[in-house]
Structure 1
Amino acid sequence: MKKILDQKRWSYPLLKLSLKMKISMLFMFLVLFTMQAKSSYAQRTKITLDLDNVTVERLIDEIESKTDFHFVYQIKEVDLDRRVSVKANKELVTSILERIFGNTRTTHNVVDKQIFLKGRRAVGSTDDSTVPIEETTPQMMVVGTVTDNTGTPLPGANVVEKGTTNGVTADFDGNFSIEVEKEDAVLEVSYIGYAKKEVAVNGQTTVNITLEESAAGLDEVVVVGYGVQKKSDITGAVSNISEEKLQSRPTANFSDALQGRSSGVQIRQSGGDLEGKFQIAIRGVGSVTGSNDPLIVVDGVPLISASFSTINPKDISSIDILKDASATAIYGSRAANGVVIITTKKGTVGKPQLTYSTDFSVEHISERYDVMSTEQQRLLFVEAFKNSNRSTAVYDDPSNPIWQVDNDWQELGTRTGIRQIHNFNYSGGTENTQYSASASYQNRKGILLNTDLQTYSLRTNLSSQVNDWLKISTNITGSYQPQNYSQGDSWGATGYRGFVYHHSYTPAYDENGELANIETSSAPYFGANSNPLVPLLLPTRELNTTRLLGNFQTNIKLMEGLFFNTNFGGDLVRVEGYTYSPIYEIGRMINNQGSVTVSNNSDTNWVADATLDYTKQLNKHNFKLLLGVSAQQFLLRRTSAFGTGTIDNALNQLSNQTSFNSTGSNVKGGLASTFARLNYGFDDKYLLTATVRRDGSSRFGPDKRYGVFPSASVAWRVSQEDFLKNSTVLNDLKFRVSYGLTGNQNIGNFEFITRAASTPYVFGNTVVVGNSASNIGNPSLQWEANKQLDIGVDFAFFKSRISGTIDYYDKKSEDLLIQNPIALTAGVPNPPIVNIGSVRNSGIEFAIFTRNLTGKF
């Protein structure tokens, strides 16, 4: 079909993004479908032609009859009578068009399934016999194939014209076609697991490209705190979890993304609620009463909130885990338990790309507890009462209506949990400016009744090379998370554990479908909360979390090799809680007076860093020096109000209560630090890292406020020695030794002073409020000291298809911060915290990684 255009014609339409949806079904539930950008129709359409001395018009008809392409042109601009001969065997249509129109006055442009033909007018031409057209930059079509060194195609390889946003993706056979602006264009070709390559076109219309496998990521960059290092240059114990590994399996939260990814890292769920609270332990437990959580850093911002459920794992580009003292000492007093550095995704050079993914999963209890039936329990009671010489009258008659009830509380109190996650990402950019924006929505229905959680999050990232000496970047993430939760822990007495030990003969619902319970005291007494569904379903428990996390960074080039960097960030968390316990009378379960609790907690955390980074190479000597200062300030506010006296369940607000009590606190503190790090390497064989940091914390008294935390490490890359350098089997072997000191300040605020708290008491016949000491301050409090030795080896074989690490560590924590018990006659509820005792952790870590074969071994 031909479309004949008027002289006034439309300009070329924009290339539209085409999406492909892959749907798979598992056990009749939708598990996963992903929409991703398709390769264009032109890049994968091949035809066979054998035409001899035919007109261009005949050629157009042949292409249209054998494909879904349609030609659009003006008759005056195309020489349809020109004779051509074409022989093609399964050749790309774009390649055929280049041969036919490449050196003629007709240009062609392929947009989706339309081929636009236009006349090429010389600049300054005054020939009025042709229709005026826009003056355009001459373009040329380049086709080719991307393969590895064995000739295996690399589908999905990225081909970008350097210096532009013009880029395409290779098809399933590794073929690509790209229209470049000039004959001397340079193509940048990249593929995961292979070294990036630049290829000059040099006027060629066919360019085949071979990529070499990268050496196990030895040149990959790893985030090490206030900077990055090549993996091959690291002298400490650092584990890296790349984006490729993170996306290799579906994860719903940060803990899932970290689980089982690194040796020596233990993830333990600390509760059964939907928020997914968990504890991370790196190389064991180092403190008795203080926190054992590692420091979490997101895009340069250290977090103070223990909740990570608002971090979308789809937004994470990499996770780096710093384990030994050499790697963690740069964070000083906060690094005794290790450091986890999260880097979020950035924009990429190329045309804008929109991606969408979704996960759908169901959750159920893998194995229920096997409990006794009603009849089994009745017979057990009969035997027990006989053994204790008590009357068994209540239990002797199996026809008693009580014994006709046989409830499975584990079934009644639970359901099949459902989790849906939707993720959108839009990214792109030029060589100077890259951007990325993402949005996600998660909806979870918990296994326990009356529990659910939703998470909404938005994230933006912008990075721009403003000029030759200034680069700026910003990351902003906002999230909102409303949830309904069970009282206390989901495993607690009012959670799943209550279903296990409650008696099966307690009624659950009456004939009207309302919650029921044993009515009279003559029935067997099994406690006031005889129906475990009552405390689960009747109260209202809501928790709404809002979080804003972001930072702004600058990178200023002062001179060759010398950079001045700044980072200003913040983490703002607000948690609003509402709980209502209603009035009810269900059998012998009676609550005559309702109550309301309203809480409002906010954490505000600000951080500002400034560093000087100097790099210098002198022959075989490589130097890198980092000097920096850091300031962190936090403000923790806690308010809670409790009211009782509800006379009607419709009056369920705090203002409707008749008796009130409230508590509140404001805590402000900070950390001031200076630090330095020196990296030295000789001939890429012998490596040295020395680090020192001085921290001052508001959590300690004036005389113990500052601490100094040094570390040093050395490494020998044996694989770079002449006797191993050319080995075809072993491509990396490195021995490491490190020793250093880090600290722990994870105690409550202002434990070094004695604080007062208000307490109501009766004076005469009147309730009055007085102040009394709530603790005994200890002005001699100082840091917990963590001394750690690490001896390790890194290895890689067969082009890093097999790689791994082995580490021996010995970590001793001294001057532990522990509460020292005192006599009750001291009159204070909280004993003083003192530095006493020590804990030692030692062990061997072993990790091995393999890559699937893609060609010859």
Structure 2
Amino acid sequence: MIYATKHILIEILVRLPCFLSPKIRRIMKLTLLFTLLCILHISANTYAQTTQVSVDVQNGTFYDVVKQIEKQSEYLFFYNSKDIPNDLPVSLQETKSNITVILDHLVKEYNLSYKINDRHIFLTRNTAVQQQQQQGKRITGTVKDPNGEPVIGANVMEKGTTNGTITDVEGRFSLNVASSDATLIITYIGYASTEISSKNESVINVTLKEDSKALEEVVVVGYGTQKKATLTGAVSNIGGEELVKTRNENVKNMLSGKIPGVRVVQKSGEPGSYNSDLQIRGMGAPLIIIDGVPRSNMDRLDPNEIESFSVLKDASAAIYGVKAANGVIIITTKRGKTSKLTLDYNGSVGWQQASNIPETLNAAEWMELTNENSINKGGSLMFSAEEIDAYRKGLKPETKWSDVGFDKIAPQTQHSISAQGKSEKIDYFMNFGYLKQDGFYSSGDLNYDRYNVRTNINGQITKNLKVGMQLNAMMGTKNEPIMDAWEVYKAAWMHIPTLPVYANNNPAYLQQLPGAYHPIALTTADISGFRKNKQYLFQGTFSVDYSVPFIKGLSAGAMYSYDYDNADNRYSRKEYSLYEYEAASDSYQAFKAYSPSLISRSYAKNEKTLLQLKLNYERTFNEIHNLKILALYEETTNKGDNFAAQRELPMDAVSEIFAGATKNQQATSNAGGLYDLANKAFVGRVNYDFKSKYLAEFSFRYDGSSMFAKGAQWGFFPSFLGAWRISEEDFFKNCSALSFVNNLKIRGTYGILGDDAASSYQFLSGYTYPSGGYMLGSSFISGLGFRGMANPNITWYEARMADLGLDIDMWNGLLSFQGDIFGRYRTNLLSTRVLSVPGTLGAALPQENLNGDLTRGFEIGLSHTNTIGDFHYTVSGNVSYTRSMNKYIERAESNNSYRNWRDNYNDRYSDFYWGYDFVDYFYSMDQIWNAPVQDNKGNSILRPGDYQYEDWNEDGIIDDNDARPIDLSGAPRINFGFTLAGTYKGFDVNLLFQGAAKGTVINQVQMERPLTWDRGGLSMFMDRWHTAEMGADPKDPNTIWVPGYYPSTNNGGETTNYWTSSRSIQNVNYLRLKSAEVGYTIPKQLIQKVGIENLRVYFNAYNLFTLTGLKYIDPEHPSDSYSCLYPITKTYNVGVNVTF
């Protein structure tokens, strides 16, 4: 099997598909080569462990032994017959023994040395020096598990040396040690490491003890922790060390593909944008908890300060009540661990490369499409063949606008330094982090800087009293020119390639362009102005915990946190000029852009407080009844305020508000950013388990929100969780056939969660001011508007969540499985009744709790970990499936049966497109004339290459009545990821693959981009239907057409090609090598002399390559369709981790 796989991989390496790009082929070859090396290594070790040989030579020769071994196995011997004569007398008898046992007999008897390399055995005669070095003794023995079964492949090492061996299929080993009192270290995955002295012993038999660390692992859950073995909910956990193996400026992106049910979509690589979506089980954005406090986001955390992530995906999240209906992510930052001061430095420098920049039309291509577009709209040729050839042959200069003002690569760097330590009375962790990320603007004016500072200190004041303080601060600064980056890219792609960058090629005069969108001006702050957005964040948390001395197991605690978030945004627009050269007068005509100059300044702040008071009780009775009780009170406040001012600048030399003119000045405040909210909650939880076998949990949260009127403010949200550890039953433990199963647990949960996701104070009537206004004379008078009808009955929406799960751990950690099926049913979702009201009412109807939906799915996680000699590897993967349907959607009454069927979304899946079935392209005018009418004009606007749709109701007309569900819509239903990781003698490799399936994108918006507004476009539109002869009549039945992917160019003309149809939908199926890291840890004996405890260097890459059938669009943000896009980036980093 292994050799077959090896040969298949070699064949793939040689014959990788030629249609792949050279870069992808190189990457795939490296990946396959790594896999091949792993297989070869595994093959060699596995063969040595499992092959048994019998030798029976009495008064024979050395050559007799060699022949018997080679005849029974695939081993080949290599030795010098002058040093080891073939007729060397030998007597040896071994039955079904490992090859190392047989060779150990030979080397001991005849002073030989051997080395096994795969199936090759090399023998040499020892020199006198070698004989002296090997003085000591030979130790033999067996290694067994607690059930008395032999442990195959256990590592047996002589302590303090690299001398070692592995056990055979019978658990036996033989090892020559240098000292008569050598200490052996026996290790095997899933078992605790064992050390034993060989003093006065030549035969050592060892029984390993199971390592219960995996099951004893503590996982952070709502308001506490639990052992992994006794978890009752669907909770996934990932450590900080695993997190940072994916390097990215956004912590969200570092989670991609690693946790079952968690999907992260990176929408942009723009510095400082943090434009990524994270969803749990396709249910929406989760609640973020950092060190026990709800936070608005986690994007700007320094990853080096994170200890662990816990993801609550089912009713276990109900204890958080408000905002927890989409799940909860709990982040714990690091604390002091070591007994001495430890300093850590993590730093990397790297570069970014745009992963999906489309090619723009060159001059000849643009002229061809412009001609076709004119002819297709009934016009004439705009350019002659001679004019086009002049550009095609390079006789006239042209401009590739996608390169003007942009670089191919951009630098980035990230550094952090931390200090931590721990004593009996105090533990501390402090971290300082810095991130610098540049954009692709050649000017360097698009960049982002971020500083992070965190301090966590815990002190044991008395035997029973502990206090803690966590301080966190962040300052981020984003610099960019005045226009959004995606608009600058879009403008550059649309410019006409025959226009020059500079008027008359004079760098002092930027060429006038349509819309004044000159890439150099828009990417250079000194020309067009700048935006500087600063964000300041401070978070402080103080806690007290007291163990009540007179009641065993009872503790009390209090926590107070304060968060302050401030945004300080500055916008300075400069007036500048673009020019056209007039050859007749040898002069330049100026065109003003962005006039007048102006300066604006805006501030927004947010303050949050949280107070928690809690009681915890934890006891074990009679060593079999384990009880934990939590009672907690919590209240939060959330206040927001903002202000903005703007003035015109007579002179742009000073970009400050005070330097502006008072005429036309503005001062505003965003009403949506002005709020004062509060929540209160009473929380309770009881955990009980019997012998860690039968597990039960009940929790509730009684939440109150200021968003609702009295009588509707409070909601009660209970949850029930249970689990049965079948593996702890006596009948299971006594079944030898199931001895390989270490943990088997069935769990189930049900709970009700809530959300107060309503606009503030909809239960109150009132007025909006200002609301429009009127000019009275020369003055503008602001108006007063009616706020709308009040609804005092609006209240929480509820989410009922159910989950059934199975956890299995086998072969002491060699294989782990986790599977869940789940569902969420939401009711009381907000909507407005579809009713007609008299215009004299003067207000719209209010929102009500009307709608409902249902989300169902499953998720699976698998993990395999093993050690073979010095090679340790892990293979893990996860896959999840989610789909939602509408249970009730408020709608208007239908006036016929078709509309009733069409518009009734109740009890239907919510993720499908309505549209037309694409039959084929039209290939001729005859076919068009005889087809059902689909343009309402007798098909007079159609031409070959246009889309032909199915006449679903067979009435001879293609209209709205022929639309029907044609395909899935929206985000992929299936999401998956898998990791390949390995370490070998200081080297480590980690590969993370991530992908999705069963998703679609509609590209009708993308199709509207060729020659938009009679400008330029993208080269992909050259793959289109067009006449073989330029200028031929498209309506002539005798005209010859050349087929393509897109229809013929018809920008601004009448067409049916933009209708939503099965032709305009593409599958978003992809597999992406999300990250790859290769590192090497320097041996400690080389660095400890200079005071370094650990030193590791690494190379890391992110978003390396993507395999997808999707054309022209990146699968992670397909809906953008080049309309609102700053490119996703590939990143490459070289870094170092140093511990002092």
TM over 0.5: yes
**Helix, strand or coil for the counterpart of 1:534?**
helix
Report what 1:273 is aligned to. 270
Which whole-Å deviations, capped at 9, do the CAs of 1:675-708 have from their partners, x for residues lacking one?
A: 1011111121111111110100111222211101
Report what 1:518 is aligned to. 512
RMSD: 3.6
Report what 1:585 is aligned to. 577
Which whole-Å deviations, capped at 9, do the CAs of 1:297-353 have from their partners, x for residues lacking one?
A: 1101101x34x333111100000000001x101101221011000000000131111
Q: Is the 8 A contact 2:240 2:303 kept in 1?
A: no
1:251 is displaced (CA, Å) by 4.0
1:843 is displaced (CA, Å) by 0.5
**Separation in structure 2 between the aligned mates of residue 566 and residue 337 of structure 1, nearest angstrom:** 27
Q: 1:447 to 1:729 in 2, by over 3 A?
A: farther
Q: Does residue 1:534 correspond to 2:537, yes or no?
A: no
**Separation in structure 2 between the aligned mates of residue 435 and residue 153 of structure 1, nearest angstrom:** 37
**Separation in structure 1 between the aligned mates of residue 158 and residue 451 of structure 2, nearest angstrom:** 40
Of the three residues 521, 534, 546, the one matched with 1:544 is 534
**Separation in structure 2 between the aligned mates of residue 411 and residue 810 of structure 1, nearest angstrom:** 51
Alignment of 1:354-503 (within 5 A): 354-390=343-379, 392=381, 397-398=387-388, 404-410=397-403, 412-448=405-441, 450-485=445-480, 490-491=485-486, 494-503=487-496
Report what 2:683 is aligned to. 675
Letter in 2 for 1:280: L
Deviates more, 1:757-766 or 1:261-270: 757-766
Deviates more, 1:446-455 or 1:395-404: 395-404
Report what 1:19 is aligned to. none
Of the three residues 734, 738, 742, the one matched with 2:749 is 738
Q: 1:197 to 1:577 in 2, by over 3 A?
A: farther
**Separation in structure 2 between the aligned mates of residue 606 and residue 153 of structure 1, nearest angstrom:** 58
Of the three residues 234, 237, 260, the one matched with 1:237 is 234
Q: Does residue 1:756 correspond to 2:768, yes or no?
A: yes
1:414 is displaced (CA, Å) by 4.0
Of the three residues 294, 300, 320, the one matched with 1:302 is 294
**Helix, strand or coil for the counterpart of 1:217?**
helix
**Helix, strand or coil for the counterpart of 1:816?**
strand
1:272 is displaced (CA, Å) by 4.3
**Separation in structure 1 between the aligned mates of residue 808 and residue 457 of structure 2, nearest angstrom:** 37
Q: Is the 8 A contact 1:348 1:428 kept in 2?
A: yes
**Separation in structure 1 between the aligned mates of residue 225 and residue 422 of structure 2, nearest angstrom:** 23
Letter in 2 for 1:736: R
Q: 1:776 to 1:508 in 2, by over 3 A?
A: farther
Deviates more, 1:786-795 or 1:660-669: 660-669
Of the three residues 820, 845, 849, the one matched with 1:835 is 849
Q: Does residue 1:151 correspond to 2:148, yes or no?
A: no
Report what 1:202 is aligned to. none
1:807 is displaced (CA, Å) by 0.3
Which whole-Å deviations, capped at 9, do the CAs of 1:20-42 have from their partners, x for residues lacking one?
A: xxxxxx99xxxxxxxxxxxxxxx
**Separation in structure 2 between the aligned mates of residue 701 and residue 808 of structure 1, nearest angstrom:** 37
Q: Is the 8 A contact 1:273 1:486 kept in 2?
A: no
Report what 1:576 is aligned to. 568
1:765 is displaced (CA, Å) by 4.2
Letter in 1 for 2:782: V
Letter in 2 for 1:710: P
**Helix, strand or coil for the counterpart of 1:347?**
coil
**Separation in structure 2 between the aligned mates of residue 409 and residue 233 of structure 1, nearest angstrom:** 57
Q: Normalising by the residue count of structure 1, what TM-score does the alignment of the two structures yield?
A: 0.71
Of the three residues 308, 313, 332, the one matched with 1:318 is 308
**Helix, strand or coil for the counterpart of 2:241?**
helix
Q: Is the 8 A contact 1:576 1:601 kept in 2?
A: yes
Q: Mind listing any 5+ residue stretches in structure 2 that lack a counterpart?
A: 1-25, 28-131, 136-152, 162-176, 180-186, 197-205, 580-590, 873-1140
Letter in 2 for 1:732: N
Q: Does residue 1:853 correspond to 2:867, yes or no?
A: yes
Letter in 2 for 1:743: G
**Separation in structure 1 between the aligned mates of residue 840 and residue 208 of structure 2, nearest angstrom:** 75
**Helix, strand or coil for the counterpart of 2:636?**
strand
Q: 1:404 to 1:218 in 2, by over 3 A?
A: same
Q: 1:647 to 1:795 in 2, by over 3 A?
A: same
Letter in 2 for 1:593: P
Q: Is the 8 A contact 1:580 1:596 kept in 2?
A: yes
1:770 is displaced (CA, Å) by 2.6
Q: Is the 8 A contact 1:375 1:403 kept in 2?
A: no
**Separation in structure 2 between the aligned mates of residue 265 and residue 828 of structure 1, nearest angstrom:** 46
Deviates more, 1:479-488 or 1:350-359: 479-488
Q: 1:853 to 1:483 in 2, by over 3 A?
A: same
Q: Is the 8 A contact 1:547 1:574 kept in 2?
A: yes
Letter in 1 for 2:847: I
Letter in 1 for 2:243: L
Query: How many corresponding residue pairs?
Result: 659
**Separation in structure 2 between the aligned mates of residue 251 and residue 387 of structure 1, nearest angstrom:** 48
**Separation in structure 2 between the aligned mates of residue 451 and residue 155 of structure 1, nearest angstrom:** 54
**Separation in structure 2 between the aligned mates of residue 819 and residue 214 of structure 1, nearest angstrom:** 58
Of the three residues 713, 731, 747, the one matched with 1:723 is 731
Q: 1:733 to 1:624 in 2, by over 3 A?
A: same
Which whole-Å deviations, capped at 9, do the CAs of 1:214-253 have from their partners, x for residues lacking one?
A: 3362111111111111111111100001233224443433
1:711 is displaced (CA, Å) by 0.8
Q: Is the 8 A contact 1:374 1:403 kept in 2?
A: no
**Separation in structure 2 between the aligned mates of residue 154 and residue 230 of structure 1, nearest angstrom:** 33
**Separation in structure 2 between the aligned mates of residue 192 and residue 541 of structure 1, nearest angstrom:** 55
1:812 is displaced (CA, Å) by 1.3
**Separation in structure 2 between the aligned mates of residue 590 and residue 827 of structure 1, nearest angstrom:** 46
Report what 1:698 is aligned to. 706
Letter in 2 for 1:782: T
Q: Is the 8 A contact 2:516 2:593 kept in 1?
A: no
Q: 1:711 to 1:403 in 2, by over 3 A?
A: farther
1:783 is displaced (CA, Å) by 0.9
**Separation in structure 2 between the aligned mates of residue 197 and residue 694 of structure 1, nearest angstrom:** 51
1:89 is displaced (CA, Å) by 7.7
Q: Does residue 1:712 correspond to 2:726, yes or no?
A: no
Q: Percent identity?
A: 26
Q: 1:284 to 1:826 in 2, by over 3 A?
A: farther
Report what 2:664 is aligned to. 659
Q: Normalising by the residue count of structure 2, what TM-score does the alignment of the two structures yield?
A: 0.54
Report what 1:140 is aligned to. none
Letter in 2 for 1:802: L
Q: 1:407 to 1:637 in 2, by over 3 A?
A: same
Alignment of 1:346-357 (within 5 A): 346-357=335-346
1:805 is displaced (CA, Å) by 0.8
Q: 1:444 to 1:530 in 2, by over 3 A?
A: closer
Report what 1:105 is aligned to. none
Of the three residues 539, 543, 552, the one matched with 1:560 is 552
1:403 is displaced (CA, Å) by 6.9
**Separation in structure 1 between the aligned mates of residue 613 and residue 281 of structure 2, nearest angstrom:** 31
Q: Is the 8 A contact 2:432 2:452 kept in 1?
A: yes
**Helix, strand or coil for the counterpart of 1:236?**
coil
**Separation in structure 1 between the aligned mates of residue 336 and residue 786 of structure 2, nearest angstrom:** 55
Q: Does residue 1:629 correspond to 2:633, yes or no?
A: yes
Report what 1:649 is aligned to. 652
Deviates more, 1:294-303 or 1:240-249: 240-249
Q: Is the 8 A contact 2:253 2:266 kept in 1?
A: no
Which whole-Å deviations, capped at 9, do the CAs of 1:257-315 have from their partners, x for residues lacking one?
A: 32112111111235443222322111113xxxxxx321101101101x34x33311110
1:530 is displaced (CA, Å) by 4.5
Q: 1:788 to 1:196 in 2, by over 3 A?
A: farther
Report what 1:180 is aligned to. none
Higher helix content, 1 or 2: 2
Report what 1:103 is aligned to. none
Q: 1:503 to 1:732 in 2, by over 3 A?
A: farther
**Helix, strand or coil for the counterpart of 2:867?**
coil
